[in-house]
Chains A and B, each alone.
Chain A
Amino acid sequence: MEIKTMKRVDIIFAMEGVDPVKVVENAIKRDQDDIILDMIDSGLKGRGGAGFPTGLKWKFTRNEDSLEKYVICNADEGEPGTFKDREILDRVSEKVFAGMAICGYTIGAREGFIYLRGEYNFLLKKLNQKLSVFNAAMKKLGLDFVIEICSGSGAYICGEESALFESMEGKRGEPRNKPPYPTVSGYLGKPTVINNVETLVYACMINRLGAEEFKALGTKDSRGSKVFSISGDTPNAGIYELELGMTVDSFVQEFGDGDTKAVQVGGAAGGCVPRKQFTDTVIGYEGIPTGGSMMLFNSTRSMYNVLHDYLEFFTEESCEQCTPCRVGCQQLLMGIEMIKRGERTPAYLEDLKKLAKTMKISAKCGLGQSVANPFVSIVNNFKEEIIY
């Protein structure tokens, strides 16, 4: 498809002239602190959605005094509407491995793990084959760094970094209290860098291209490009790497079907942007951040059903450890059902919005905190659809 108003970028999937092992070979000739400076300078932020500066994460972990450190690639891609990591792992896994190896060299880790979403087990065989070649190549380079794959078991919550560690340690996937953060105490209580699949590829490519080329793209707060998983009411569903900093409006111009009434940015845990806010909303860390999921809805869709689906999803996927999320999700779901059935007055929506606000500030982890995003944005903008 031809894109007119936005810049399509080809960093993530480009393999022509890119030898990931060579990128690692060059990187490990450099001083670790220089690599970190480059990473910070590039402005790369976590591509999983939370947007923590990657260079700082590496720096904090490097600064920790520990014999054991770990690099973990978070490939538990479970956000509804996200399917980019699967594609990245399928097509350019060596670049992910290289990003991990550079990180390992930088922070002083000898082991790396890919926590692969349970539903992506069909990739296992291929990934393991490629890994054995890559691990052997690292050994040949004299880099003491080995990557293994750890398979998830199908819980959304295990994409939350500390729940992921618990799961890797063989325990029930429940988020931990923070602090301490993973850079201090992660997998097995050791300093750990945990990065999204896409982040690691960018880390690899920043080492190849240099920080300048990366930060030339995007805006001040959102440097570089990003891979988007585009789905819903669009004639052009699929995966696109685009420069950051576009408005929802220009996005809809390119990808909408002419009848787009809302875009859900960032998956179920993200926010819903209604048509009237398209022009004012920037996709990026200064506006509405996303882990890549962009779902378009046209006027044939019931936003009640959309919200209901999301809430059902959260109710099922909550680890149920903390009260606000465990009970809150169930109450929000039952709440909109009761209003729809006329068992509660529309005024109850206000109670539910207050509840969502409490969840946002009091839940233990990002899952519970983010349920308010779709809830409040959909309820505020499509109140009639929720009530009637």
Chain B
Amino acid sequence: MSKYTVNLKINEIPISVEEGTTILKAAKELDFRVPTLCYHEDLCVAGNCRVCVVEQTGSKALVAACAVPVSEGMEIHTNSAKVRSARKHIIELLLSEHNSDCTKCYKNGNCELQSLAHEYRVGDHVFADLVTGKHTIDNYSPSIIKDDSKCIRCQRCVRTCTELQSVSALAVAYKGDKQKISTFLDHPLVEVVCTNCGQCINRCPVGALIEKTYLEQVWDAINDPTKHTVVQTAPAVRVAIGEELGYDPGNRLTGKMVGALKRLGFDSVLDTDFTADLTIMEEGTELLSRLKRALVDKDPDVRIPMTTSCSPGWIKFIEHTFPEYLPNVSTCKSPQQMFGALAKTYYARKKGLKAQDIVSISIMPCTAKKYEADRPEMRSSGYKDVDYVLTTRELGDMIKQAGINFKNLPETNYDSIMGDSTGAGVIFGATGGVMEAALRTAYEIVTGREVPFDNINILPVRGMEGIREAKVKLEGCLAEWSFLEGVEVSCAIAHGLANARRLMNAVKSGKVNYHFIEVMACPGGCLGGGGQPIPTSKEIRDKRASAIYQEDENMQIRKSHENPEVKQIYEEFLGAPNGHKSHDLLHTHYTARNKY
């Protein structure tokens, strides 16, 4: 259906836009910014904060620019006296119910309400204080802190949790002045279906939802001369850390980031990409062995499709939502946890260190990783495998605290061992990346040839479509894999848990048949993770994704099985993929959980 053009005037300037365009977007086209709080481009329109109200000639009441579509002949004023007065009132009202102790707030300097208050020069609060003594802080979760005293009820978190993630851990509860954003029976987040994905944090305009920080513990470890600090950095951090330090989105800053970590005083700066490559070896082998059991042995117990297990948000989600599919989840630990287990075993041995003297720290684009590191099953080394997880944002804070001039840092290489990585490891940071890395390796193992895609870029699995499908036909298989000859490996990729739910429901209904499924809990994959710089938008995520794929193309080695340190660890320590030692250190199990 073709769309009509609508003519209107905004602040006396005529403009023509497509029908259905909101006043907000039309004003933006004319370079008039209308302030917003509850609006977020990733979410459905709520129209409830009312900060974006504008005046429509002929209408007594103001209208919400984010929610009202343009109409023919409309005359809009975005900054009339009536608008300014109402808007200022609304900001003052929000401040009266908001704990405005800004200097102590984690979001100080990156708070949308604070900016608005500053912009409108809101001085002495006219209205009564509605905050003091009324609220609780939920800080039981190892990942997320929820502080109701900061909440301005814009419901972005609720829409995120419901629409983007279909988790619905957060909802509006109670009415009247008792209304709040809460959980099932007001239980703490750690006791409900929350997946710790942190997408709510990325979209909270204020500091009502933040990550639990472990900065001080990490500083203490760095400053403790008896401890050896090992830090690992996830693939998606290097393409986003710049946003915390004054760069535009989409800058690849791997070398500078490694340099900064060294200056911060970490004893060894290593790469999660190394264990991402290792994951491919383990998970690829697991997939091939499941296929063999299914196709050759006709083993009725083998579960296909196999799903990935790198995303801890996805793991917690499937544990709550589709526990009957837990046997389908790869038993591989996530790269972070493989790294942690190896840091206190293999690395310790190679370096002549005692496991108890090592403090293992990871820098992740993720808040769910904090929860993952705390899981009781993540103690394969005999100690907590990963001691502290910091987000990209926390790393930004550390660099600022240490007074490091990031922009002038030289490019620095990762330390060894466990610092080598490949392009395949890097693309773990984008949705479809694990799938692509796995296919690059598995295809080659089975056929002895590279995947049949131009420059081994498997474009069908890339992109930002919520659910994507791809098929790769195995032909000319090597003798030991001859049972796979002619098999068309059917894959699906989902990112964002709402898409994951749709995909799993399709699998459950039997309407689709896949061999391998990749799920990332966050929109865009890890690059859009809950620990990444705020704000987030599709544009920002696209830029981070293209930076990740550039990084891959610039790597000399782009296939996991060619990572020299990966070959070395199998020779020296692990034996073969899915071998006995791998099982002890690199694989795990899952727990079925409640549905509420």
Which residues of A approach B to under 8 Å, CB–CB? 155, 157, 172, 174, 177, 179, 315-324, 326-331, 334-335, 338, 351, 354-355, 358, 360-364, 369
Contacts and interface: CB of A to CB of B under 8 A. Distances in A.
Most chain A CB within 10 A, of B45, B61, B175, is at B175
A369 B61 contact: yes
A48 B320 CA distance: 46
17 contacts: A155-B175, A157-B175, A179-B69, A318-B175, A320-B175, A320-B177, A323-B93, A323-B152, A323-B153, A326-B97, A327-B127, A328-B93, A331-B96, A351-B126, A355-B89, A362-B50, A369-B61
Given A320-B175, A320-B179, A364 B69 contact: no
Contacts of A315: 176-177
A360 B61 contact: yes
Interface in B174-191: 175-177, 179
A323 B51 contact: yes
Interface string B66-95: 011100000000000010011001100110
A361 B153 contact: no
A322 B62 contact: no
Contact of B48 (A351, A355, A364): A364
Nearest to A327: B93
B6 interface: no
Nearest to B179: A320
A324 B130 CA distance: 14
* Interface size bracket, B side: 35 or more
B64 A321 contact: no
User: 4 closest A-B pairs (Cβ-Cβ)?
Assistant: A320-B179, A327-B93, A177-B67, A316-B176
A363 B96 CA distance: 17
A356 B96 CA distance: 16
A84 B152 CA distance: 38
A354 B61 CA distance: 15
Contact of B97 (A177, A327, A354, A369): A327
Contacts of A326: 97, 153, 179
Interface centre among A317, A355, A358 (most CB of B within 10 A): A358
B67 A317 contact: no
Interface string B390-433: 00000000000000000000000000000000000000000000
Helix, strand, loop or mixed for chain A's interface?
Answer: helix
A335 B125 CA distance: 13
Contacts, number: 108
A321 B174 CA distance: 11
Contact of A334 (B51, B89, B128): B128
> Which of A320, A327, A355 has the most B CB atoms < 10 Å from its CB?
A327
A331 B93 contact: yes
Contact of B64 (A177, A320, A354): A177
A320 B128 contact: no
B3 interface: no
Nearest to A343: B128
A157 B175 CA distance: 10
Contact of B90 (A323, A354, A369): A323
B47 interface: yes
B222 to A, nearest CB: 44
Given A155-B175, A361-B86, A362-B61, A320 B68 contact: no
A130 B113 CA distance: 55
Interface in B125-142: 126-128, 130
Nearest to A180: B69
A277 B49 CA distance: 37
Contacts of A351: 126
A315 B175 CA distance: 9
Contact of A354 (B47, B53, B89): B89
B174 to A, nearest CB: 8
A322 B49 contact: yes
Given A335-B128, A351-B126, A327 B94 contact: yes
Contacts of B46: 321
B177 A358 contact: no
B592 interface: no
Interface in B301-317: none
Contacts of A155: 175
Interface of B: 45-51, 53, 60-62, 64, 67-69, 82, 85-86, 89-90, 93-94, 96-97, 126-128, 130, 152-153, 155, 171-172, 175-177, 179
B87 to A, nearest CB: 8
Given A318-B175, A361-B61, A323 B50 contact: yes
A323 B177 CA distance: 12
Nearest to B64: A177
A360 B175 CA distance: 21
A361 B176 contact: no
A168 B130 CA distance: 32
Nearest to A359: B89
A315 B174 CA distance: 12
Given A319-B175, A322-B48, A338-B128, 6 more contacts: A321-B155, A324-B89, A326-B153, A351-B126, A360-B61, A364-B47
Given A177-B67, A316-B176, A331-B128, A321 B94 contact: no
A85 B93 CA distance: 36
Contact of A364 (B50, B96, B172, B179): B50
A369 B86 CA distance: 13
B90 A324 contact: yes
A315 B130 CA distance: 13
Contacts of A354: 85, 89
A225 to B, nearest CB: 28
A321 B47 CA distance: 9
A317 B176 contact: yes
B25 to A, nearest CB: 15
A362 B53 contact: yes
Contacts of A364: 47-48, 50, 64
Contacts of B82: 361
Given A330-B130, A361-B82, A317 B89 contact: no
Contacts of A335: 127-128
A362 B90 contact: yes
A130 B50 CA distance: 45
Contacts of B86: 324, 358, 361-362
Contacts of B171: 172
B466 to A, nearest CB: 22
A337 B80 CA distance: 33
A318 B175 CA distance: 7
Contact of A327 (B53, B60, B96, B155): B96
A91 B97 CA distance: 47
A323 B49 CA distance: 5
Nearest to A319: B175
Nearest to A172: B172
A269 to B, nearest CB: 15
With most chain A CB atoms within 10 A of its CB, the pick from B45, B64, B127, B155 is B127
A358 B85 contact: yes
Contacts of B153: 320-321, 323, 326
A321 B158 CA distance: 12
Residue among A322, A351, A355 with the most chain B CB within 10 A? A322
B50 A330 contact: no
A351 B93 CA distance: 12
Given A315-B177, A317-B175, A328-B93, A179 B50 contact: no
